Amino acid sequence: MELLSVPIEGLVLFKPRLFFDDRGYFFESYQQLKLEQFGIKHPFVQDNQSRSKKGVVRGLHFQKPPYAQAKLVRVVHGEILDVAVDLRKESPTYGTYFAVHLSAENLLQFYIPEGFAHGFSALAEDTIVQYKCSSFYNKEAEGTIIYNDPTLNIDWKVDSPIVTLKDLEGEQFNNFKTPF
């Protein structure tokens, strides 16, 4: 696995090693010992998968402690702009975000630790995103920051976002009280 540089401490971006032959390719999409070398040491307990139309924006979601979740995100089909917003109040990058293109072609994987809000926009039709979570989902611990928050000013790279009512009712970042 090749570790790539990111500007926010705690986030990890990497590309798995691919093995090609005349049939196609093979790679380890998850290998605990290799991830531990990158500082990712907790077990994952839940796998999630979503399918989205081009233009869908999901997020910005997080789980409040003690149900906070770390996520390991990858794209099985299509392409997304994946976004992580730092919600850790003691962090020098609190309130900033990092965005990266993940696709079925580049095979990048993005680790987002606890203390971040997460969201993505689908940049291709029939985009399938798969992610591992370090904690089980808990509805009462769910939090959402509105995707188009003016303070965060995220460019989702879509012209007419398709967003659920739940995500449209997310908190404004300047009114948000972080639990992290």
Active site residue 61: yes
Looking at residue 85, its amino acid is V
Distance CA 59, CA 42 (A): 24
CA-wise closest residue to 72 among 105, 38, 21, 123 = 38
Looking at residue 30, its amino acid is Y
Active site residue 131: yes
Distance CA 174, CA 97 (A): 15
CA-wise closest residue to 84 among 134, 136, 34, 145 = 145
Among the options 97, 111, 131, 147, which is catalytic?
131
Looking at residue 132, its amino acid is K
CA-wise closest residue to 180 among 104, 103, 85 = 85
Among the options 61, 97, 111, 147, which is catalytic?
61
Altogether, the residues listed in the chain come to a count of: 180
Looking at residue 94, its amino acid is Y
Catalytic residues, by residue number, are 61, 131
